[in-house]
Structure 1
Amino acid sequence: MHTDLVAALDIGGTKIAGALVDGHGRILLRAQRATPAQEDGDTVMRAVEDVIRELTGSPFWGRARAVGIGSAGPVDASAGTVSPVNVPGWRGYPLVERVRAATGGLPVELIGDGVAITAAEHWQGAARGHDNALCMVVSTGVGGGLVLGGRLHPGPTGNAGHIGHISVDLDGDPCPCGSRGCVERIASGPNIARRALEDGWRPGPEGDTSAAAVAAAARAGDPVAVASFERAAQALAAGIAATATLVEIDIAVIGGGVAGAGDLLFAPLRKALTDYATLSFVQRLTVAPALMGTDAGLVGAAAAALTRGTDATAAGV
């Protein structure tokens, strides 16, 4: 069985990446296209099919047994459809059916991108060896996924663990999702920058208003920039503690661009966790930076495909 491969697709608003991946998580071949995110659904699908065509043209393709897809969400694994917020041409789009057709009828496993990254971190990254883990991506949005009882827990539709839309501020700002005070509305990169600007932070002469620019200002000691990261850390801590209290995770792994701020985020986050994760069974909860980097989506999509049915033990996911 070790000679079998799976195809993996990582679909986001910026790029569509594809790979052939072996049972050890090694990427043997890659393909990539820009996502024509503002075009109609079939144009976006053509970019996916271009990526698949590169994979099917490989001499390795004959060993591919299944396809794993990690997609920006929401996804609906039970229906095989995707409706990524940042790809408006896809609403209830039948991605599984289209990918199955483009790959000659291979079985297809669809999960959300946060769940895919969780699968990768559990298989080969910072959550390896942990049976109960939350993995989060904090970047333009805040996503996540769960490992419970040693197994990936995508939930019926593939969206379980979507911590970005836990409300941590009852009277907080309205979130585009329709709720209020969501983790994402406080802790995502754009919202860290928004809060800093609203509170009086001003960018340098080049006008960079990204979260990275706020992080640079915080490192230089700007109190408003520091406070914006501390507020984000507090929101993340409240969401992580709620999750840990609910399902008894023992590690929270955090990746994504905002996690690149390092101690600016992790130091106040660990401190805030002591305020929120107070019950005896969550006090030992640890927080760690993600290790898998930009290949996490592909490796996690491959893990999901490898764990279909009887292959569950092969991937150790």
Structure 2
Amino acid sequence: MTNSNTIEQYGAAFISHLESKIKAKEPKNLYEPINYILGLGGKRLRPILTLMTADLFGGNFKDAQDAAMAIEVFHNFSLVHDDIMDDAPLRRGKETVHEKWDVNTGILSGDAMLINSYQFFESYSPEVFKKLTSLFSKTAIEVCEGQQYDVDFESRDDVTIPEYLKMIEYKTAVLVAAAMKMGAIIADAPEEETSAIYEFGKNLGIAFQLQDDYLDAFGDPETFGKQVGGDIIENKKTFLFLKSLEYAEKEQREGLLHLYSLKPGDSKTKVETVKSIFIESGAVEEAKKEINQYTQKAFNALCDINIPEKNKHILKEFGENLMKRTV
């Protein structure tokens, strides 16, 4: 069985589990938006990781399906609320929940999703339930902290790269890490191994987000699914922006700061100018280096895990494929 096959199989198993849980319920205006966002697809990266990790650690991946649901529902809840905060028109190439319905619906349906996500842990034994929910709560609060850092950075001119990396660790990477650790917990792996797979997921998650920042500026509009250049339009202080400030010549630096002081607006010229500064300053090269470094850190964490080599190879291959993505 090849790796790509297994990924597809986990994906298919998860989708059918998800579909069995999605029901049309009353009140319609609460549940329809939930079913809409969960049905929009996306990569289903996190739940697949939960199933895959349970399997690779010698458990039955079907036992991890409810934990995978908790992760996916939580992730989508955070997207619904993030989209409101960012006033984003599109998610996965389709209308966002608050655009399709309204802001109040997005808030309430999001709240219901957060509560729902916890209910999925109720199918586990008390001991496993305790481990999963305490990890989940820690992760959920970190995601909120990450989102707050992200919001704070918008009005700050002194954001440092370490602060930025901490923000993406909390906002994005800890959920990937928790998704994997849950799979290992369900497979009854020893504590030090569940911690090691958490490190693997966290570092891969940081690399993934840095890659996302890169693709936001330089991705293909056909495959990326979000508005290319969205971060630039929104004046988001991404790794590329912060590195450019550090590396660029005085004139370029002033130009960049000026462009980022303009009110967000969809200007093709602004996007193109900023992208050329990202390239010329060397920030793009640095971003690629950083992505490789975090991917390597993730792979190093696999040394502390006592699972068959072929299973480690699957994790490694997964990480490598993730870094070659264009979407």
**Shared fold per TM-score greater than 0.5:** no
- The two structures have a TM-score, normalised by structure 1, of 0.31
Of Structure 1 and Structure 2, the greater strand share is in: 1
Of Structure 1 and Structure 2, the greater helix share is in: 2
